[in-house]
Amino acid sequence: MIRFENVGLRYGMGPEILRDLTFQVEPQSFQFLTGPSGAGKTSLIRLLFMSLRPTRGLIKVFNRDLSVIDKQELPQLRRKIGVVFQDFRLLDHLTTYENVALPLRVVGKQESEYRSDVIDLLKWVGLGDRMHVLPPVLSGGEKQRAAIARALITRPEVLLADEPTGNVDPPLARRLLRLFIELNKLGTSVVIATHDIALLEQVDARRMVLADGRLSIFD
């Protein structure tokens, strides 16, 4: 699904912050990406999401080599990947409902086609009664769930979540984790970047540990 071979990344003329990364994200797999703060988890998530290009190595996303891919094809590939950012990245002038519906608007769907799906999903993530409010009014946990709903609305093949429980209390973190597990059971590959040890201990899943720019994988 996503394959990295000897991937390295440096910013500008600085040191290489990711070195010789070789791994695959298999279909319907569930994995944690962990490591200390500053280890490069967010950079790796950005590489997975094609918002950064590697300095060296091969990245194949859905069997397409990113080094030769045309820029026009990137949006099509990105639509197969849902991303949840640590800082949510919700648009403050759009309601929760409109934020979640955004990926469907972008592909040109009419509101009548997706209205009930968006409402269902918002109810599933527990935001059924908050769909008409603007993000500044939402709590951290609610924003997090809205961001997750936005990532899921297009039924992505891969879900990337960068510190999805970083802004929520432990009970909500557990609840969000179950949400990801449920999603994984439904066929979506999940990659969760976190340094929350408590979260890792709750699930028996593949762990990819980043340290000193190198990746160790524990299946």
Partner 1 sequence: MAQTENNDDEQAVAVEVKPPNRLVRKKRPKKKAAPKAPKTEQGDAAKLRPAAAIVPPQSVAGRALTLVVAIMSFLACLTVGAVSIVWDAADAWQNDLVREITIQIRPTEGVDMLREIDKAVALAQEFPGIGAVRALSDSETKALLEPWLGEGLELEGLPVPRLIQITVSDPELLNLSQLRNSVSGQVTGASVDDHSIWTSRLSAMAGAVVAGGFAIMVLVMGSMVLSVVFATQSAMAGNKDVVSVLHFVGAEDGFIAREFQRHFLMLGLKGGVSGGVAAIVCFVLVDMLTRQGSGQAGSDQVSALLGSVSVSLPGYFGVFAVVFLVAILTALTSGLAVKAHLAKVD
**Interface with partner 1 (CB under 8 A):** 28-30, 49, 51, 71-72, 74-76, 78-79, 83, 89, 91, 93-95, 97-98, 101-103, 105-108, 111, 115-117, 119-121, 123-124, 126, 128, 131-132, 150, 152-155, 157, 174-175, 178-188, 190, 201-205
Rounded to a whole number of angstroms, the minimum distance from the CB of residue 167 to partner 1 is: 18
In the complex, the smallest distance separating the C-beta of residue 156 from partner 1, rounded to whole angstroms, is: 10
Q: Shortest gap between Cβ of 128 and partner 1 (angstroms)?
A: 7
Cα-to-chain-centroid distance, residue 106: 18
Q: Which of 4, 85 has the CB closer to partner 1?
A: 85
Q: Minimal distance in Å, beta carbon 146 to partner 1? A: 12
- Contact criterion met (CB below 8 Å) for 177 and 199: yes
Q: Give the C-alpha separation, 32 to 198, whole Å.
A: 12
Closest to partner 1 by CB, 7 vs 179, is 179
Please identify, using beta-carbon distances, which residue of 17 and 177 lies nearer to partner 1.
Answer: 177
Identify residue 210 by its one-letter amino acid code. Answer: L
Nearer to partner 1, 29 or 167 (CB): 29
Phi, psi at 34, each rounded to 5° = -135, 175
CB of 14 to partner 1, least distance (A): 21
What is the spatial order of strands in the sheet that 158-162 belongs to? 81-84, 158-162, 189-193, 30-34, 206-211, 214-218
Six-digit token pair at 24?
């695959």
Structure tokens at 107: 């592909």
For residues 15 and 70, which CB has a smaller minimum distance to partner 1 in the complex? 70
Nearest to partner 1 of 55, 214 (CB atom): 55
CA distance to 23, 106, 128, 173, 194, per residue, from 38 (Å): 20, 33, 36, 22, 12
Cβ 216 to partner 1 shortest distance, Å: 19
Answer whether 15's CB lies under 8 Å from 6's CB. Answer: no
Please tell me the distance from the alpha carbon of residue 140 to that of residue 153, in angstroms, as a whole number. Answer: 20
